[in-house]
Amino acid sequence: MSRPNRVHPLTVRLTHWLNAVAISVLLTSGLTIYNASPLFDFSFPASITLGGWLGGALAWHFAAMWLLVANFLVMLGFGLLSGHLRRRLLPIRPRDFARDLWLALTFRLPHQTGVYNAVQRLMYLGVLAAILLVIASGLALWKPVQLQWLSALFGGYEASRRVHFVAMSAIAAFIIVHLALVAIVPSTLIAMLTGGRMPHPHKGTPT
Amino acid sequence: MIIPPRPKARDHKAGLQSLQRRLLLRGGLSIGALTLLTGCNLEDDDAVDRLLTRISRMNDRAQAALFSGSRLAPEYQAADITDPFPFNAYYPEERAPTIDGGNWRLELGGMIGERAPWTLAQLHALPSVSQITRHICIEGWSAVGQWGGVRLSDFLQRIGADTRAEYVSFRCADDYSTSIDMATALHPQTILATTFRGTTLPRAYGFPIKLRVPTKLGFKNPKYIVAMTVTNEYPGGFWEKYGYNWFSGL
């Protein structure tokens, strides 16, 4: 399925876009659910919410959660078993991270097709962790009695709500940076659609 | 149950407006949905509606499979009780029904052996249990309360109900209604509550009886109950017909 000269193997592209759909639905419907009983002193504008009212939002949320979880398992399973995650995202050395972060903040970090810099690596690992956290805290909120061990792990029902919100915020923050970077280097969007091509075929690999 | 502790007028209004919608989603598609459905014919939102309804039915089955008849909802200490405990209904507190306990009768129907109506005195004569549990609203907020009363399973046995039936449904004096699955009806913490914090159930919390189900969301805990039916025909409920998930288990 994955050809060595592709930037993104087919499985990565498929799961990326299904994940994008699931997260868009869950995020926007989640904001409607938040607005029904805001945890903090603010609400979200209706223009960025999905579902129209609480009942509609919950129907979307509890439908898209299956897609998120199933797709995430495929994504993670493929990434771990194929070695794709290890090859692309590891290692992350603190020194590289500090250097790349400085270069990024001064807009001097070049884009290298097929190679992630240390800041990107940490962000991708971070968003995978945030998705895992949003799923676990979501399950704790959905089933605080049947999965009470999970609910207790987060400190009970009310604490789970806050964890779920923080994990959602981390994903939203990632999306903002992610989309900004795609806007700066639009060829990355093409690569995520077509698979793209590595600049140089790997040595000794038949193409 | 839908109104939060200190009701925000705008939320209440939004809730009522939504009630006027016949369908789950019609008129409810906003920018988020438009973005998602770009390229699709928005006239098709009935199809989206049907799909979401089908997934909700699938979620009913998934939740029934996850439900354990013996796993208890966590219980709390008296010090954890939320004070004041919030009033919730689809209307403001002033409009809550005032019921004369002496004249009140619980009508029984469906697959039940002895269908003679019950009085409050008869209910009080049955063995009673108490629990301090967390009420979780579908809106997200939660509150801890203490309820006491008769185990629904004891009552069902007493009236000769066919516990192989699928549903137990409730009709209330405020025109509210809801229904639960038999497995949940037989759960040891599912009670016909007649007391709150050790005293007679106040009007705000459902006098004379409220169904307390700590394994389900708040809207599955009807107040001011006047009729109970055991049936195999899906009875639905007040909020369920607008699209709230029927099982709504915790």
Q: Specify the pLDDT at position A129.
A: 98
Nearest to B130 by CA among B32, B197, B81: B197
Q: Note whether A67 and A22 are within 8 A (CB).
A: yes
For residue A53, give its domain range. Answer: 10-194
Q: Specify the pLDDT at position A111.
A: 86
User: Once rounded to an integer, what is the mean pLDDT over residues A53-78?
Assistant: 97
User: Once rounded to an integer, what is the mean pLDDT over residues B79-99?
Assistant: 95
Query: Would you say residue A2 lies in a domain?
Result: no
**Is the confidence at residue A204, as pLDDT, over 50?**
no
DSSP-derived secondary structure letter, B79:
G
Which one has a higher pLDDT value, A104 or A205? Answer: A104
Q: Specify the pLDDT at position A107.
A: 86
Q: Specify the pLDDT at position B18.
A: 45
Q: Note whether B249 and B221 are within 8 A (CB).
A: no
User: How many domains does one find in chain A?
Assistant: 1
Q: Specify the pLDDT at position B23.
A: 44
Measured between alpha carbons, how far is B65 from B10 in angstroms, rounded to an integer?
Answer: 37
Which one of A50, A53, A144 has the shortest CB-CB distance to B33?
A50
- Alpha-carbon distances, residue A11 vs A8, A125, B104, B228 (angstroms): 8, 18, 64, 53
Pairing of strands B142-151, B129-136: antiparallel
Checking phi first, is residue A195 left (phi over 0); if not, alpha (psi -120 to 50) or beta?
A: left
**Is the confidence at residue B248, as pLDDT, over 60?**
yes
Q: What CATH code is carried by the domain that includes residue A112?
A: 1.20.950.20
Q: Give the tokens for residue B160.
A: 């000769």
Query: Hey, what amino acid is at B104?
Result: W
Residues of chain B contacting A37 with CB distance shorter than 8 Å: 4, 137, 139-141
Q: What is the residue extent of each domain of chain B?
A: 65-242
Q: Specify the pLDDT at position A200.
A: 65
Interface check B250 vs A, CB under 8 A:
yes
Q: Specify the pLDDT at position B182.
A: 98
User: Once rounded to an integer, what is the mean pLDDT over residues B106-116?
Assistant: 97
Which runs of E-coded beta strand occur in B41-190?
107-110, 129-136, 142-151, 167-172, 177-181
Nearest chain A residue to B16 by CA distance is A53
Q: Specify the pLDDT at position A4.
A: 58
Q: Specify the pLDDT at position B132.
A: 98
**Is the confidence at residue B16, as pLDDT, over 50?**
no
Q: Specify the pLDDT at position B27.
A: 43
Residues of chain B numbered 210-229 and touching chain A (CB < 8 Å): 214-215
Residues of chain A contacting B24 with CB distance shorter than 8 Å: 55-56, 59
Half-sphere exposure of B120 (CA within 13 A, CB side): 18
Task: For residue A193, count other CB atoms closer than 10 A to its CB.
Answer: 12
Tens-place pLDDT, residues A12-65 = 999 999 999 999 999 999 999 999 999 999 999 999 999 999 999 999 999 999
Query: Would you say residue A84 lies in a domain?
Result: yes
Residues of chain B contacting A172 with CB distance shorter than 8 Å: none
Q: Identify the three-state secondary structure at position B249.
A: strand
**Is the confidence at residue B13, as pLDDT, over 70?**
no
- The domain made up of B65-242 has a fold known as Sulfite Oxidase; Chain A, domain 2 (3.90.420)
Interface check B186 vs A, CB under 8 A:
no
Q: State the average pLDDT for chain A.
A: 92
**ipTM surpassing 0.95, yes or no?**
no
Q: Specify the pLDDT at position A151.
A: 98
Interface check A60 vs B, CB under 8 A:
yes
The verdict on pTM exceeding 0.95 is no
Tens-place pLDDT, residues A161-175 = 999 999 999 999 999
User: Once rounded to an integer, what is the mean pLDDT over residues B69-83?
Assistant: 97
